[in-house]
């Protein structure tokens, strides 16, 4: 006889999510929830949304369970939401966990999810309206470009709004940088008739492993707007033929944060960064203002010296495109002397570029830069480390927990 397992972990301790009553203050609606770890430590996750956007906001607890999924997976205790959650979303989140467990079994577990009420919420069957995450970077500008222009053919979405989150790439305390970036982004989107919404959230401060948790943060913010939209779009980072499995946003796991009445769509994974830049030039307003930097002190500007700025400048140079106004200067030999220390993600991306052969400019400078950074990061991955990881993956496939 086949026995059926109903729970993944049977211990009494669990992660609890308690949605709190929304509050309105100074023209902002605050939506929040307390997240209690199995050991009883509580933290408050919050989102602030301008009052005039209130009619779009869901009353369900779905944004909170999406936001907290990595925290839940980091424990060996089930999670209970003291609110209403779509059973379709819960089922998807079980598969979402399977993806992360299979790729990182030493770090993540699979946990059962339950809610006080499991029911589909915000049911508007005829709605066909998307809201797209937008930071002003290459990926989000390109997504807006391909849908607004219709070059994506049948894939074209009806984008009713874009969403810029304060607290993700621009820290909460830097209000003036956010306002400057907001005005630039708003103006860019105005040229294609798309309004820009904003949300402020402390998500990133609570779930700090940002390379992995960022897509859950984005999907959570998009899901807040479930009453006014049927789909949330996440502009893709990597191309299908060059995926990074441990990068939070990817075409395999992003859509597994969908509920029945609000799907999450990972957009544009057929394009690589070079092709995006090449085509985006057609939309000059966006091309001249792209903001890709992660390390400038002025958070709304490109430094021209970090890994991401360097990758973008190399592609611009290789494709013989004009230098966008948003970069302080075009690529030159001197810039390689000033590039800051690179992390693994950017070294790998630069190594991929180097493999393009003679088409890539400044090959000698680039290869020296990679070598220096590789030396600094050594030892990167020993054979023992690789073997341990493989062993963990095998255990994940054949070991507990069930299903």
By C-beta, is 200 or 299 nearer to Zn ion? Answer: 299
H-run or E-run covering 147:
helix 138-149
By C-beta, is 90 or 292 nearer to Zn ion? Answer: 292
C-beta of residue 163 within 8 angstroms of C-beta of residue 132: yes
Q: How far is the CB of 60 from Zn ion (least distance, A)?
A: 38
Rounded to the nearest 5 percent, the helix, strand and coil shares of the chain are: 40, 20, 40
For residue 136, give the nearest of 275, 271, 324, 289 by alpha carbon: 289
Q: Should residue 306 be labelled a site residue for Zn ion when binding is judged by CB under 5 A?
A: yes
Q: Which of 81, 89, 309, 370 binds Zn ion (CB under 5 A)?
A: 309
Q: How far is the CB of 305 from Zn ion (least distance, A)?
A: 6
- Tokens in use for 76? 């060996």
By C-beta, is 65 or 306 nearer to Zn ion? Answer: 306
By C-beta, is 81 or 342 nearer to Zn ion? Answer: 342
Q: Should residue 234 be labelled a site residue for Zn ion when binding is judged by CB under 5 A?
A: no
Residues 81-120 that bind Zn ion (CB under 5 A): none
By C-beta, is 219 or 310 nearer to Zn ion? Answer: 310
Q: How far is the CB of 327 from Zn ion (least distance, A)?
A: 9
Q: Select the span of 202-210, 254-262, 298-306, 336-344 touching Zn ion (CB under 5 A).
A: 298-306
Q: How far is the CB of 310 from Zn ion (least distance, A)?
A: 8
User: Residues 6 or more apart from 349 whose CB is under 8 A from it?
Assistant: 307, 311
Q: Select the span of 108-116, 150-158, 223-231, 299-307 touching Zn ion (CB under 5 A).
A: 299-307
The count of chain residues that interact with Zn ion, using the rule CB under 5 A, is 4
By C-beta, is 148 or 311 nearer to Zn ion? Answer: 311
Tokens 């779930």 belong to residue? 207
Q: Should residue 303 be labelled a site residue for Zn ion when binding is judged by CB under 5 A?
A: yes
Q: How far is the CB of 314 from Zn ion (least distance, A)?
A: 13
Q: SS3 for 135? A: coil
- CA–CA separation, 361 and 356 (whole Å): 10
Instruction: Tell me how far CA of residue 147 lies from CA of 91, 118, 321, in angstroms.
Output: 30, 34, 22
By C-beta, is 209 or 340 nearer to Zn ion? Answer: 340
- The DSSP code for 148 is H
Residues 258-297 that bind Zn ion (CB under 5 A): 293
Q: How far is the CB of 361 from Zn ion (least distance, A)?
A: 18
Axis-axis angle for helices 273-280, 138-149 (nearest 10): 60
By C-beta, is 122 or 300 nearer to Zn ion? Answer: 300
Q: SS3 for 132? A: strand
Q: How far is the CB of 351 from Zn ion (least distance, A)?
A: 19
Q: Select the span of 118-126, 150-158, 195-203, 300-308 touching Zn ion (CB under 5 A).
A: 300-308
Q: Should residue 61 be labelled a site residue for Zn ion when binding is judged by CB under 5 A?
A: no
Q: How far is the CB of 230 from Zn ion (least distance, A)?
A: 36
Phi, psi of 182 (to 5 degrees): -60, -45
- Tokens in use for 65? 């369970």
Q: How far is the CB of 311 from Zn ion (least distance, A)?
A: 10
Q: Select the span of 163-171, 214-222, 235-243, 303-311 touching Zn ion (CB under 5 A).
A: 303-311
By C-beta, is 169 or 267 nearer to Zn ion? Answer: 169
- Tokens in use for 319? 């494709």
Q: What residue ranges in 75-185 does DSSP mark as E strands?
A: 78-85, 113-118, 130-133, 159-166
By C-beta, is 109 or 373 nearer to Zn ion? Answer: 373
H-run or E-run covering 197:
strand 196-201
Q: How far is the CB of 366 from Zn ion (least distance, A)?
A: 16
- CA–CA separation, 210 and 216 (whole Å): 10
Q: Should residue 316 be labelled a site residue for Zn ion when binding is judged by CB under 5 A?
A: no
Instruction: Tell me how far CA of residue 391 lies from CA of 96, 103, 108, in angstroms.
Output: 22, 12, 15
The answer for 4, left when phi > 0, alpha when psi is -120 to 50, beta otherwise, is beta
- CA–CA separation, 66 and 62 (whole Å): 6
Residues that bind Zn ion (CB under 5 A): 293, 303, 306, 309
């Amino acid at each position: 006889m086949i026995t059926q397992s109903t729970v993944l972990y049977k211990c009494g301790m669990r992660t609890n999510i308690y949605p709190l009553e929304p509050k309105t203050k100074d023209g902002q609606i605050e939506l929040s929830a307390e997240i209690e770890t199995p050991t009883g430590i509580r933290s408050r996750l919050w989102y602030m949304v301008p009052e005039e956007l209130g009619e779009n906001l869901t009353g369900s607890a779905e944004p909170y369970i999406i936001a907290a999924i990595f925290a839940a997976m980091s424990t060996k205790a089930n999670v209970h939401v003291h609110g209403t959650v779509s059973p379709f979303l819960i089922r998807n989140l079980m598969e979402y966990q399977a993806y992360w467990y299979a790729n990182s079994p030493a770090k993540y577990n699979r946990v059962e999810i339950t809610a006080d009420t499991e029911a589909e919420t915000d049911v508007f069957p005829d709605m066909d309206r998307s809201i797209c995450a937008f930071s002003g970077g290459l990926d989000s500008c390109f997504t807006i470009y391909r849908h607004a222009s219709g070059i994506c053919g049948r894939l074209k979405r009806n984008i009713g709004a874009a969403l810029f989150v304060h607290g993700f790439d621009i820290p909460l305390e830097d209000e003036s940088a956010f306002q400057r970036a907001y005005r630039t982004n708003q103006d860019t989107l105005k040229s294609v008739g798309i309004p820009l919404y904003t949300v402020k959230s402390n998500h990133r401060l609570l779930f700090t492993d940002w390379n992995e948790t960022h897509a859950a943060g984005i999907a959570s913010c998009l899901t807040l707007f479930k009453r006014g939209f049927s789909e949330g779009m996440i502009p893709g980072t990597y191309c299908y033929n060059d995926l990074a499995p441990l990068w939070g946003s990817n075409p395999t796991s992003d859509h597994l944060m969908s509920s029945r009445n609000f799907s999450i769509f990972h957009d544009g994974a057929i394009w690589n960064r070079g092709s995006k830049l090449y085509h985006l030039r057609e939309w000059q307003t966006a091309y001249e203002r792209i903001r890709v930097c992660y390390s400038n002190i002025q958070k709304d500007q490109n430094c021209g010296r970090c890994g991401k700025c360097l990758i973008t400048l190399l592609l611009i140079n290789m494709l013989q495109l004009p230098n966008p106004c948003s970069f302080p200067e075009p690529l030159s030999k001197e810039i390689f002397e000033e590039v800051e220390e690179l992390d693994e993600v950017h070294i790998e991306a630069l190594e991929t570029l180097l493999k393009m052969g003679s088409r890539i400019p400044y090959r000698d400078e680039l290869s020296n830069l990679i070598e220096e950074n590789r030396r600094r990061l050594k030892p990167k991955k020993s054979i023992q480390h690789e073997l341990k990881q493989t062993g963990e993956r095998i255990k994940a496939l054949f070991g507990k927990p069930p299903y």
